[in-house]
């Protein structure tokens, strides 16, 4: 099957995750997609294929070289972001993209002026949305790359390799992708997530990530008799937010700069809830950001004369660099494989996180490889089919180099 047809089939499954669900997976339709992948994996000759009760899919491509080399794992996630609709996706393929503006529905325009990464895919075959939904390349492009690699191995038994472990996780977009990951099933020496970004980009640094929940309790009094008595929690919330450093909002930061981001706000006069995510590659700087929340809390509670503001802080994931630095060979072999297939490797930090961050701290070193996806989580998302094909080639080279160094792969 062509990788583009595989990808288009995958994005037809609506698999948005739900950050407020208490089930695992957070949405039932993720299991429908998972079951489809289970059946496809079995057709392609994988063994020990199963879907756990929590919707995690596992499988193994059995070794054909008498177990020479490391057992490498490959991981991608099945869910799409709740930030934009993932229902009724209508992708459009543009052949040999020429660098011009791409009209979308709802008077949207995908243009190199506003989205300069389009200039990186001139001459490529690309897939875009129609402007009404996200595309789902994050991370169904990663799944398509892994499964196309598996299909190549199935059709080419002469391609020598060690055991390859494969897993597809639900709920990565809501920070729960590894919540029920079974290391007794997924017995790899190390792994790579295949999840977003340019195909020559390699990531083993990600944000340290925390969630901050702010609960503000006001004093609701009838407005006709509220003088010197009412405390409107919504106004306190606006004051609280305005006191955070404005330059640390995500729209003003880049590279290694951290940020705080107000992702949800809901309230009335009596009670208001704010939900923030706080991110920084530098753990000490992140702690300073968290201290800003505590400092503002103390000041406003003192100003109002009672415990108006309550804050709870929750760790979400940490920077995998602290783990990967002790396993330099899993970085070096990616750089070699990229050069072998004609890519110029670029090691860049992730301004976010992947399942690999949690997996690394759980004992499975797991950096990230790109997929050729851009501007995910919204209607301007697009994926390069050309880069996806190169991603298959890269995985095959990485696996082949694990057995024999620098041999040509017969494509």
Catalytic residue positions, numbered? 79, 172
DSSP letters for 6-66: HHHHHHTS--B--TT--SSSSSTHHHHHHHHHHHHHHHTT-EEEEE-TTS-EEEEE--SSS
Helix axes 29-43, 137-155, angle to 10 degrees: 20
- CA torsion through residues 4, 331, 79, 353, sign: negative
Q: What are the backbone dihedrals phi and psi of residue 264, each rounded to the nearest 5 degrees, phi first?
A: -160, 140
How many distinct helices (H) and strands (E) make up the chain?
9, 18
Q: Residue 16: beta bridge partners?
A: 80
Picking from 211, 389, 222, the residue whose alpha carbon sits closest to that of residue 293 is 211
Alpha carbon 75 to its chain centroid, in Å, reads 11
Q: What are the backbone dihedrals phi and psi of residue 48, each rounded to the nearest 5 degrees, phi first?
A: 55, 35
CB burial of residue 378 (10 Å; 0-12, 13-18, 19+): middle
Picking from 46, 351, 93, 42, the residue whose alpha carbon sits closest to that of residue 201 is 351
Phi-psi region of 196 (alpha: psi -120 to 50; beta: other; left: phi over 0): left
Q: Residue 191: beta bridge partners?
A: 73
End-to-end CA distance of the chain, in Å? Answer: 15
Place of tokens 């925390």: 210
Following CA atoms 314, 319, 324, 325 in sequence, which dihedral angle do they give, to the nearest 10 degrees?
-130
Picking from 358, 2, 317, 351, the residue whose alpha carbon sits closest to that of residue 151 is 2
């Amino acid at each position: 099957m062509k990788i583009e047809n595989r990808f288009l089939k995958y994005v037809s499954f609506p698999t948005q995750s739900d950050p407020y669900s208490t089930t695992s997976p957070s949405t039932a339709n993720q299991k429908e997609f998972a079951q489809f992948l289970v059946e496809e994996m079995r057709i392609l000759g994988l063994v020990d294929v199963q879907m756990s009760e929590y919707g995690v899919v596992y499988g193994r491509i059995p070794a054909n070289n008498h177990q020479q080399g490391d057992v490498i794992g490959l991981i991608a996630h099945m869910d799409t972001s709740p930030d934009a609709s993932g229902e009724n996706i209508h992708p459009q393929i543009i052949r040999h993209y020429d660098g011009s503006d791409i009209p979308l529905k709802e008077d949207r325009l995908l243009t190199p002026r506003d989205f300069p990464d389009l200039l990186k895919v001139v001459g490529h075959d690309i897939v875009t949305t129609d402007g009404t939904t996200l595309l789902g390349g994050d991370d169904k492009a990663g799944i398509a790359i892994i499964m196309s690699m598996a299909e190549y191995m199935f059709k080419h038994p002469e391609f020598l390799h060690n055991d390859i472990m494969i897993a597809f996780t639900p709920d990565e977009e809501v920070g729960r992708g590894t919540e029920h990951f079974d290391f007794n099933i997924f017995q790899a020496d190390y792994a790579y997530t295949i999840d977003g970004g340019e195909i020559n980009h390699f990531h083993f640094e990600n944000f340290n990530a925390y969630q901050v929940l702010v609960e503000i309790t006001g004093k609701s009094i009838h407005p006709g008799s509220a003088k010197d008595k009412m405390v409107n929690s919504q106004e306190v919330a606006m004051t609280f937010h305005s006191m955070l450093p404005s330059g640390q909002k995500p729209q003003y930061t880049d590279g290694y700069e951290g940020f705080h981001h107000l992702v949800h706000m809901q309230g009335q006069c009596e009670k208001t809830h704010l939900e923030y995510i706080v991110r920084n590659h530098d753990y000490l700087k992140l702690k300073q950001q968290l201290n800003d929340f505590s400092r503002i809390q103390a000041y406003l509670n003192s100003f109002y004369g009672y415990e108006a503001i309550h804050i709870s802080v929750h760790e979400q994931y940490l920077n995998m660099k602290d783990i990967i630095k002790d396993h330099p060979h899993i970085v070096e072999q990616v750089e070699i494989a990229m050069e072998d297939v004609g890519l110029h490797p670029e090691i860049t930090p992730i301004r976010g996180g992947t399942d690999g961050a949690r997996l690394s701290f759980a004992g499975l070193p797991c950096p990230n490889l790109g997929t050729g996806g851009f501007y995910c989580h919204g209607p301007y998302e697009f994926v390069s089919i050309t880069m996806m094909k190169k991603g298959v080639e890269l995985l095959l080279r990485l696996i082949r180099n694990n057995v024999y160094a620098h041999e040509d792969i017969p494509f």
